[in-house]
Amino acid sequence: MPKRRISVRKLVSLSVLLALGVILNIAENYMVFFPAIPGMKLGLANTIGLLVLALFGPTEFLLIGFLRVLLAGTFSGFGSGFMMSMTGFVFSATVTLLLYHTKKLSIYGLSMVSAVFHGVGQVTMISLLYQNVLMFNYLFILMFSGIIMGLLIAFLTKIILQRVRFQGIKEVNYEDNIEQ
């Protein structure tokens, strides 16, 4: 079996992006944007996921996303919040990658789908934890906020992709489609 090598530049770039994702994730836990809507967040850490997907591809997207949730859980605790976050990540990453491979959605579409399905995953987990199917009534609110926040995160990610040049990092072929 041939050894797979990763360049130092790529490893450092992914490490920095992972660290930024964890910091944004933890910082957002302390920010309340809309006190009347519990659980609604901007999703700034999702910007990192979209950047990784556009610049490195699906494998790195999954790895960095999983590690981000795991590390944020390490610093914030592995309670119900961690379980909801991990379930949200699994749901959103699965649907995002399925749609990513169709090459039909722009970065805006992928971001909105990711945000909406993150909410679906969270509501599913909280319904299981509390053994109460009525928690799914909250899904409409999270889906609506997911669409709005997904658009904002995609806009931010697009600006970053246009301005930041990672020298020496070969971008994935799909980036032309994902930046539309």
- Locate 56 and state its tokens: 């490195």
Provide the b/e sequence for 65-76 (b: ≥16 CB within 10 Å). beebbebbbeeb
Q: Which two tokens stand for residue 150?
A: 């997904």
Low-confidence ranges of the chain (pLDDT < 50): 167-169, 172-177, 179-180
* Cα 146 → chain centroid: 12
- CA-to-CA separations, 165 to 3, 17, 47, 100, in angstroms, rounded: 29, 14, 16, 22
Q: What is the pTM of this model?
A: 0.85
Given a contact cutoff of 8 angstroms between Cβ atoms, the answer to whether 135 and 82 are in contact is: no
Q: What angle do CA 96, 101, 105 make, to 5 degrees?
A: 65
At residue 168, the pLDDT reads: 45
Residue 16 is predicted with a pLDDT of 95
- Report the pLDDT value the prediction gives residue 105, as an integer from 0 to 100: 93
Q: What is the pLDDT of residue 171?
A: 52
* pLDDT of amino acid 78: 83
Q: According to the model, what pLDDT value does residue 175 have?
A: 46
Task: Tell me which residue has tokens 């590390």.
Answer: 71
Q: How many Cβ atoms from other residues are within 10 Å of residue 162's Cβ? A: 9
Quote the DSSP letter at residue 180.
Answer: -
Q: What's the pLDDT score for residue 53?
A: 95
Contact 120, 90 (CB under 8 A): no
The separation between CA 113 and the C-alpha centre of its own chain, rounded to angstroms, equals 10
CATH code assigned to 8-173: 1.10.1760.20
Residue whose entry in the numeric block shows the structure tokens 């697009």? 158
- Cβ atoms of 159 and 50 within 8 Å: the answer is no
Report the SS3 class of residue 53.
helix
- State residue 91's pLDDT score: 96
Domain ranges of the chain: 8-173
Encoded tokens for 20? 């930024």
